[in-house]
A and B are shown apart, each in its own frame.
Chain A
């Protein structure tokens, strides 16, 4: 655990990617199996144990220290693992070195009740840095700025091999990745995915930036709508049909009407959408189905889904990923009429000739109806490669909506932002109050419904889009304008207006305002703007698409 804890700390503080990768390479080269595989699986988010619930860790902490002091500490530190690691009573006499594999093996076999005892024992035996690493490991989400991709790059670097080979076999291997290391060290053959229903790494798109638009040779690109759904991969193998999310999670059980046997074998890429090909549903409807491990038949019949297919990676025995998009498209169109000709699959249409003028028109059309997120541009000769490849695929999202809202509540953030007030609840004026405000009789500190004249209703929660400097200023504003405390939440004087960008507005029964905004983020802090000039709820309702 000592080596792993050192690695995590080094990764956390290393400012540059290359430095992080160098630490990983060193770790991979010098750590014995199976410790290194298990440690890497923690970094790629594939740890083969069920994590320990935050609630359990909190309970254990309560048993060891005063609960009031613990809660105040947690509120300040903003990270459960770190709080417990720091607050846990240290006893140098109990120190023992416990390996990562020992921890994994033990947790695989013990019961829930025993896990609690074992965990306390480990915490007693470890110094602070190791306690932190252990708790990070068990609660998941290490947040040390390392992606699964970076781990694979480090593996490639450590063994002087092509990272694409590692990407391709990754879905086939499981922690502690003995097959991978055996192959890398030359004592076994390369694991083979052929015919098996496993995830193949997805190709991703770069956002299209304004300066690039002008340089783009539109004639070599194919244009499609960017549908507002969830990206999926459908794999039909000898061992069945599976559906994978963008990140490679198996979501077959969530959508049994899609992940059902198919005589065709291969891999296709597409967008999972709510409704039927003729009658598209909104992303909000799709959300009712996402995150449901096992949907009821009622939910399924009321909220049907289908897949709009746009690419084919493998067709039968032939791996098409090295072929051009044009070639893959021709094969896909043919299969959609034969092997893939089923009601829940539908072909993504190719838009007319891509051009700068057309792009502008399409982008305007996206907003109408709200089911299209933007336009995709894919290079006709591009092969299908894992990750974001320069010059191959572009996405051009429709312009976001914006509104001026007032900060109502603030809460401390987590992780990098712990101890800063960085999570904000934002409000718009309720109807009756808007008119009153315009008479100019209202001052800054209006709250709630008491007066019946000036009411701000929450419409968004935002915690991104500001710079570190702006965060400091926002934090200062909150600290100096606190009106009331509700646990960790601070109500502030209703004086600060912020311009918020968001993707769309939806009806919501859960909120008093009757609406919810999707992916709200800060665009600008309007220190100059008085609160009574902020937008009203009805301004936002007018932005609802469907």
Chain B
């Protein structure tokens, strides 16, 4: 008989009373176990943070070295006793350092997968399948309309467009942590070896990836001053920028920009249209519908809990597979930042 009474939903998020620790709390708590470095999961101000060394480095780059009074680096697949709970982090394949949190207590094994994906990604360790009693999954793309194509096909489109419009600057909207570095690495894999330009906000995180041994090739922060003085033209070049910078003056300085966006949402045409995107690329750091279902089967859990995203559909599909499933309805995780 499994016992799940030791995992609770609290205002800041998932709470593990016997470990006195929260998972990805959305507000400051005493002890936090963090799955990955995206801002909505990794917030500053906790007393004690437990995460992979990569995630700690990311938090430190974002919030300064003192983002938490106490920091515990827990490398993948090492055990840590926290209170009476056995804690382990295993790769989630989402971004550099992303982890599933494996919790064992009262003869029950629960995995909080955090955000995860199953597709290949040269910038992070692939998702590790581990059996458990309860699997806590996200459902960002938890609808059967989401079937992400192989990322290589999308990179091919990007290179085609560059060939077609050599006079236009190709500005790619991508999240600064994870998506940007993955796109750069995918371009490199496809044989593109010219300098790639990045928005200033991405510089730190790209350097951090490189320091962890991820090869990104030649990068340059976009020299806005030189563009204004017409000393340099970015026609025919790739420029990566966070989605928030796309509509700003920064983007308007580029010559005849062609707006590209790389995200799982791009699969829905009208969504891409809403964002004023001219070339939508379906490249996601989350599992698509089939990958979520496959993962649920592979971890062989008897209960599935769904945190955020499109819970209704996933719970329905689980019940059709004969699995017991429920929605945790956690709030505060933004699926838009994919």
Known contacts: A12-B269, A416-B274, A418-B268. The answer to whether A72 contacts B312 by CB under 8 A is yes
B145 and A66: CB pair below 8 A? Answer: no
Whether B268 and A82, one on each chain, are in contact in the complex, defined by CB atoms closer than 8 angstroms, is yes
Q: Which of B143, B278, B279 contacts A76 (CB 8 A)?
A: B143
Contact A66 B316 (CB under 8 A): yes
- A72 and B313 within 8 A (CB): yes
B300 to chain A, nearest CB (A): 23
Give every chain B residue within 8 A of A420 (Cβ-Cβ): 274
Taking CB atoms, residues of chain A closer than 8 Å to B277 are 13
Rounded to whole angstroms, the CA-CA distance of A79 and B278 in the bound complex is 20
Establish whether residues A73 and B145, one from each chain, have CB atoms under 8 Å apart when the complex forms: yes
Which of A12, A66, A72, A73 makes the CB contact (< 8 A) with B273? A12
Q: Name the residue on A nearest B317 (C-beta).
A: A69
The winner among B267, B268, B320 for most chain A CB atoms within 10 A is B268
Which secondary structure characterizes the binding site on chain A?
A: helix
Residues of A within 8 A of B276 (CB): 15
Q: Which of A13, A70, A415, A417 contacts B279 (CB 8 A)?
A: A13
The residues of B that contact A70 with a CB separation of less than 8 Å are: 144
Apart from A73-B145, A82-B270, what 13 extra A-B contacts exist at CB < 8 Å?
A: A13-B272, A15-B276, A69-B313, A72-B316, A76-B268, A78-B270, A79-B269, A83-B145, A86-B145, A86-B146, A418-B268, A419-B271, A468-B274
In the assembled complex, 28 residue pairs joining A and B whose CB atoms fall closer than 8 Å, in A order, are A9-B269, A12-B269, A12-B273, A13-B272, A15-B276, A65-B144, A66-B316, A66-B317, A68-B316, A69-B144, A72-B143, A72-B310, A72-B312, A72-B313, A72-B316, A76-B145, A77-B268, A82-B269, A82-B270, A86-B145, A86-B267, A87-B144, A415-B270, A416-B273, A417-B270, A417-B274, A418-B268, A418-B271
Interface size class of A (residues with CB under 8 A): 20 to 34
> How many Å lie between the Cα of A15 and that of B147 in the bound state?
26
| Set of chain A residues within 8 Å of B316, measured between Cβ atoms | 66, 68-69, 72
Contacts of A86 in B (CB 8 A): 144-147, 267-268
Which A59-76 residues sit within 8 Å CB-CB of chain B? 65-66, 68-70, 72-73, 76
Check A90 for interface membership: any CB of B closer than 8 A. Answer: yes
Residues of A within 8 A of B278 (CB): 13-15
Which 5 pairs between the two chains have the least Cβ-Cβ distance?
Answer: A86-B145, A72-B313, A418-B270, A73-B145, A73-B143
Note all chain A residues with C-beta closer than 8 A to B146.
Answer: 86
Complex CA distance for A132 and B320, rounded to whole angstroms? 28
Q: Among residues 141 to 168 in chain B, which have CB atoms less than 8 Å away from a CB atom of chain A?
A: 143-147
CB contacts (< 8 Å) of B259 on chain A: these are 15
Residue of A nearest to B316 (CB): A68
In angstroms, Cα B109 to Cα A27, docked, is 59
- Bitwise, B307-338 to A at CB < 8 A (1) or not (0) is 00010110011001000000000000000000
- Min CB distance B76 to A, Å, is 34
Is B114 positioned at the interface, with any CB of A under 8 Å from its CB? Answer: no
Interface size bracket, B side:
20 to 34
A69 to B271, CA, bound (A): 20
- How would residues 271 to 293 of chain B score, 1 for a CB under 8 Å from any chain A CB and 0 otherwise? 11110111110000000000000
Q: In the bound complex, do residue B143 and residue A90 qualify as a contact, i.e. CB atoms below 8 Å apart?
A: no
Task: Kindly identify, within residues 244 to 260 of chain B, every residue whose CB is under 8 Å from any CB belonging to chain A.
Answer: 259
A90–B277 Cα gap in the complex (Å)? 26
Chain A residues near B268: list those with CB within 8 A. Answer: 76-77, 82, 86, 418-419
- Interface positions of A from 77 to 99, Cβ below 8 Å from B: 77-79, 82-83, 86-87, 90
Q: Residues of B with Cβ closer than 8 Å to A?
A: 143-147, 259, 267-274, 276-280, 310, 312-313, 316-317, 320
Evaluate whether A66 and B143 lie within 8 angstroms (CB atoms) in the complex, with A14-B278, A419-B268 already known: no
Task: State how many angstroms separate the Cβ of A480 from the closest Cβ of chain B.
Answer: 9
Kindly list chain B residues whose C-beta atoms are within 8 Å of the C-beta of A76.
Answer: 143, 145, 268, 310
User: Cβ of B312: which chain A residues have Cβ within 8 Å of it?
Assistant: 72
- Which of A9, A87, A415 is the one whose CB lies under 8 Å from B145? A87
Could you tell me the distance between the alpha carbons of A86 and B288 in the complex, rounded to whole angstroms?
13
Q: Which residues of A, 435-467, contact B by the 8 Å Cβ criterion?
A: none
**Interface pair B147/A90, CB less than 8 Å apart:** yes
Closest to B145 in A: A86
Q: How far apart sit A419 and B269, CA to CA, in the bound complex (Å)?
A: 12
Judging by beta carbons under 8 Å apart, are A69 and B280 in contact? Answer: no
Residues of B within 8 Å of A132, CB to CB, are 269
Nearest-neighbor residue (CB-CB) of B271 within chain A: A419
Residues of A close to B267: CB separation below 8 A:
86
Residues on A with beta carbons closer than 8 Å to the beta carbon of B280: 13
Give, as a whole number of angstroms, the nearest-CB distance from A399 to chain B.
32
Distance in angstroms from B88 CB to nearest chain A CB is 34
Residue of A nearest to B143 (CB): A73
Contacts of A12 in B (CB 8 A): 269, 273
For A87, what are the chain B residues with a Cβ–Cβ distance below 8 Å? 144-145
Chain A residue with minimal CB distance to B259?
A15
**Chain A residues, CB < 8 A from B310:** 72, 76
With both chains docked as a complex, state the minimum distance between the C-beta of A32 and any C-beta of chain B, in angstroms: 23
In the bound assembly, the distance between CA atoms of A70 and B270 in angstroms comes to 18
Task: State the CA gap A12–B272 with chains docked (Å).
Answer: 10
CB A253 to nearest CB in B, in angstroms, measures: 36
Are B144's CB and A73's CB within 8 A?
yes
Q: Which residue in chain A gives the minimum CB-CB distance to B312?
A: A72
CB <8 Å contact, B145 and A77: yes
A 240-260 binary contact with B (CB < 8 Å = 1; else 0): 000000000000000000000
User: Nearest Cβ distance between residue A456 and chain B, in whole angstroms?
Assistant: 27
| A311 CB, min distance to chain B CBs, angstroms | 39
What residues of B have a CB within 8 angstroms of the CB of A69 in the complex?
143-144, 313, 316-317
